[in-house]
Structure 1
Amino acid sequence: MKLNLLGAVVPNDVADFYDWFGIDNISPRKVSDALTEANGEDLEISINSGGGEVTSASQIYTELKQYSGKVTVNITGIAASAASLISMAGDRVLISPTAQLMVHNASFAASGNNKDMAHYADVLTKTNESIANAYVAKSGMTKDQALALMDSETWLTAEDAVKYGLADNVLFSDEAEPVMMNSVVSLPSAEAIAKFKQLLAAGEANKVEDVEPEPKAQEPSILQQKLQILRGE
């Protein structure tokens, strides 16, 4: 199932206002409803958002992490602030080569006396630490490293996001992902296995149709086909 998360991250009671004006928005209720509809199917999320309300983003992040199916997040435009927090919920996070990911400190408008301001500063510090936990869980960086990126309001290109571990790969990359091996014998290449599966699928199709395939002129023997596969031809 595919899910587009576009626009500001807002609480449920504010989403109605955005909807009435036809403005894109992301709310916990909309994501929760989508997860219920998906019912455990693998989920592919496309996100393009400048962020929004932290508590709502945290609720969405938590629900996505708890979802039973596999969650793939595609950052298509920007995942900034609270939206970057949501992006970290993906089992796999991919980012467009033209997209950006931005992390920074939380903020809000406040008024009061000196004690009030000290209290609000402490609240913001704790909020930053909570957000940083998502970056740490995804990337493996230390909390101090995550907080340093946030403190500097860091804008990351696709390559930067992958380098920091906040994304797994760049979308549309032609490079095949490396396969980690631990073996004393040579194993068939990915290309050879793919070719084998194509031939196997063709054979299964013939069985279903219950029709013997007509021999082609100069069709290679089974042994020759096997050798071609192993050679990567």
Structure 2
Amino acid sequence: MTVKIEINGPIVSNDDAWIYEWFEMEATWPRKVIQELDKANGENVIVSINSPGGYVWDGSEIYTALKSYPGYTESQIVGLAASAASFIASATNKTRIAPTGQIMIHNASSIGFGDHRDMTKTAERLKVTDRTIVNAYILKTGKSEEELLNMMAEETWMGPQQALEFGFVDEIMFADNTVKFAASAANSPGLIPQPVIDGIRNKIKNKEDNAPDNQDSVVTKESLQQMLAKFKDELKNELQPKPKEPEQAPAAKRNLSKLFLNL
């Protein structure tokens, strides 16, 4: 049996949950997720995520609960996993994203009151918070703290392909997620793209399947060279650099009275 847990709407505190329920607004809070995990009782859990994020500490409590769960867990980013929701998505055994899904990571923000000393303390607390959040991303992606902190500082938006490339997700839902990595300079020029290799393999197979049962059905070096010659233009096109995924403009920011991550 598989249990589904939905993380929709903002990540709020247990104390604030009642007002969202009262207004019949979607929201997610730690106690709600923890109770659902307790009911799952070790069964497989699918965590469906479409959330703009919210309070850091409450998101951390949800992250820890998922990370500590004894059964198999899988996140499915069906819409947006932004801010606090992005590190919640990294807590499960596997993270998958819909072809239309997005991830956004950025620095923590807060409102401070007091004199210059209080403002300095608030700034230091935010730096500490950023470094605690980045630990979740390090565990998920294997990237360095410096690189991830820079991505947070730039408010990085990722589509499915970027999220897979950067290691924030393990798979793109409904797609062939076979990914090969190469250690080479200048983005590995000269490597034949996997789709072209697959196309050649399929043409060879079709030639063998459709040919008469004689020597003409054998694929030789010469026949393969003739076949590859026909792919010359196709290979050139495939090896051209692909345009990058367009960046999305940042959403307007809101101010709240607690230390939190928000859009």
Instruction: Output the TM-score relative to the length of structure 2.
Output: 0.66
1:116 to 92, 115, 118: 118
Alignment of 1:1-233 (within 5 A): 1-175=3-177
Q: Answer whether contact 2:49 2:80 (CA < 8 A) is retained.
A: yes
Which amino acid is the alignment partner of residue 51 of structure 2? S
Post-superposition CA distance 1:88-130 (Å, at most 9, x none):
1011000011110000000011121111111000000000000
Post-superposition CA distance 1:181-220 (Å, at most 9, x none):
xxxxxxxxxxxxxxxxxxxxxxxxxxxxxxxxxxxxxxxx
Which amino acid is the alignment partner of residue 73 of structure 2? V
Secondary structure of residue in 1 paired with 2:127:
helix
In structure 2, the residue matched to 1:231 is: none
Secondary structure of residue in 2 paired with 1:13:
coil
Secondary structure of residue in 1 paired with 2:95:
strand
Instruction: Output the TM-score relative to the length of structure 1.
Output: 0.75
| RMSD (Å), alpha carbons | 1.2
In structure 2, the residue matched to 1:204 is: none
Post-superposition CA distance 1:59-86 (Å, at most 9, x none):
0000100000011000010000011011
Q: Which has the higher contact order (CA 8 A, sep 6+)?
A: 2
Provide structure 1 residue ranges, at least 5 long, that are not aligned to the other structure: 179-233
Q: Answer whether contact 2:138 2:144 (CA < 8 A) is retained.
A: yes
Secondary structure of residue in 2 paired with 1:74:
strand
Distance 1:81 1:163, change over 3 A: same
Q: Answer whether contact 2:171 2:177 (CA < 8 A) is retained.
A: no
CA distance in 1, matches of 2:148, 2:62: 20
Q: Answer whether contact 2:53 2:83 (CA < 8 A) is retained.
A: yes
Secondary structure of residue in 1 paired with 2:15:
helix
Shift of 1:177: 7.6
- In the TM superposition, structure 1's runs of 4+ consecutive aligned residues that sit over 4 Å from their partners are 175-178
Secondary structure of residue in 2 paired with 1:105:
coil
